Amino acid sequence: MIPPIANRFVAGESPAEALDHARQLNQQNVKAIINLLGEHYDERPPARSDAAEYRSLANDIASSDLDACLSVKPSQLGLDLGDDVFREEVTEIVNAAAEHDVFVWIDMEDHTTTDVTLDTFEELAREHDGGVGVCVQANLKRTREDVERLADVPGKVRFVKGAYDEPSEVAYKKGERVDEAYRSLLEYAFEHFDGGIAVGSHDPEMIEYATSLHEEHGTDFEIQMLMGVRKDAQYDLADEYEVWQYVPYGGRWKSYFFRRVMERKENLRFALRAVLGR
């Protein structure tokens, strides 16, 4: 059972709890991106098990009539065991989800995984005429070329700043340079994409910039945020824009929870208040 201190950021340990959280979000006009926590498996069985749970989740989402989709990590689906393992597992998930008209996001991990992730996304997106999305990271120097490549690919692209500590040879290290790259990527996307833009950010300035680009170009977009971060802002934005919340669940919640707590001062203060009972 997940303790109260952690359930701000994690929906629960079971699929039923994640689906129940998605149902509550839908009542606030917010949609759910459901992710089973897990990554960097060095054996096939856990990858197979998680893939099977995602396929079952697709059926549950469809039968529950929820505004929800799935999000998977390449290393969760066996990428560390080989590109072919990842491709096989994610293809089975996307095929199963497509039967239920459930969208699947493929998350992006560190820079060494970028090529296989983008290649697999493009193959599946063209095969299914959409129905799948991928994440790109503004801190990587290569991302502008990647985004230009993806402009005519069906599906969706999520734009984030990037959370991995990448080497300076491949990534911008200063926050202001990453912000500059993020704005530039959004400008390109709103001008050249035919919709399918997801703004994955909690930064009010970036969200405001995206809404101004939407007004200028009329390109459809959505806003994506994490569970437990700026909840009120999510609900407020949902009054006017399409908002999705990333909803993690599962038994491997501890490492995820501690990452969330340590990455923002507000989250750390929340955890301390919970521990101290204040």
**Domains, the chain:** 15-276 (3.20.20.220)
Joined together, the tokens standing for residue 265 give: 């001062």
pLDDT digits (tens, 9 = 90+) for 232-253: 999 999 999 999 999 999 987 5
pLDDT digits (tens, 9 = 90+) for 94-136: 999 999 999 999 999 999 999 999 999 999 999 999 999 999 9
In angstroms and rounded to an integer, the radius of gyration of the C-alpha atoms of the chain is 18
Residue 266's alpha-carbon distances to 4, 8, 145, 160, 272, in angstroms, are: 17, 13, 35, 20, 10
Q: Which residue in 226, 224, 253 sits closest to 156, CA to CA?
A: 224
**Spatial CB neighbours of 213, under 8 Å, sequence gap ≥ 6:** 186, 187, 190, 219
Q: Please tell me the distance from the alpha carbon of residue 194 to that of residue 155, in angstroms, as a whole number.
A: 10
Q: Please tell me the distance from the alpha carbon of residue 229 to that of residue 249, in angstroms, as a whole number.
A: 16
Below-50 pLDDT ranges, the chain: 267-268, 270-278
**Per the confidence metrics, is the pTM higher than 0.85?**
yes
What is the set of active-site residues?
Answer: 107, 158
**pLDDT score of 273:** 43
Q: Across the chain, how many H-helices and E-strands are there?
A: 10, 8
- The 3-state DSSP class for residue 156 equals strand
Q: Please tell me the distance from the alpha carbon of residue 198 to that of residue 160, in angstroms, as a whole number.
A: 9
